[in-house]
Structure 1
Amino acid sequence: MPDYNTHRVFNYLTFLVISVLLFKLQVVITDMKLFLALGVGFYIGTDFITPDLDIESKAIKRWGRLKVIWLPYKWLFKHGQSSHNILYGAVVRIMYFSIIILGLYYLLFRSLPPETMISSVYVFIFLIGIITANALHIILDVLF
């Protein structure tokens, strides 16, 4: 299986190639905020919320002291099985982490006015970025 840096290089080169192709095909991204949401989701999916969070990997070490939040995930999922399912694995990791994030988000931002909330379109595009990065990780594992 490819190592952590191989996954990162593969993911970022693929993202760059797709971005250039879209530009060359004159597929206009009218909202740079959407592209930024996709890019940030892709970054998070490549470097932080990867299929390798169920082992002692560089990805889990990137979390520093916060890696403790992934312990229950590591106990529940065995490496290479459901965590490496191209769609199911990413969805489970997103749901797992979303419970934590939504709890913090609620506690921190519940007093803000509704217009300061993030649009669901940006959240959806952000999640597409995570899922795409995870799918590329799994594809590379299957190829090598």
Structure 2
Amino acid sequence: MAGKIIHCGAAGAGQAAKLCNNMVLAVQQIAIGEAFLLAEKLGLSAQSLFDVITGATGNCWAVHTNCPVPGPVPTSPANNDFKPGFATALMNKDLGLAMDAVRATGSAAPLGRHAAEIYAEFIASDVSHNALDFSAVIEMLRTG
């Protein structure tokens, strides 16, 4: 996953950076899922929305790598029954650690907190979701 080594500081700083990065990724993945579901209801094809997002301001790693709907990204977990690249259980763990850090530092992270709640609810709704790729959270958004 990491092709670039970045020195973040003293011991533990790299772990802190990983938690912050994964909190951003979780929020992005949920937002991407919401956008694709809304587009579907508005009659847009997944490919059309993908083309717009990747050519505009919504462009991000989450849509390029983990597009949550089958089609636009052939290597996306959505094209393979959400077999994990990064399991929901691991995202949930990292979000829990990030929320521990938020509380310990008195930081404000309303979107991170909400993402943590969404992932925890996704797992609580069916323990088998632990083993799916974290982009499968779209399935909860679809029904919820």
Class of the TM-score when normalised by the shorter of the 2 chains: under 0.3
Structure with more contact order per residue of length (Cα contacts < 8 Å, sep ≥ 6) = 1
TM-score by length of 1: 0.26
Task: Report the structure, 1 or 2, having the larger helix content.
Answer: 1
TM-score by length of 2: 0.26
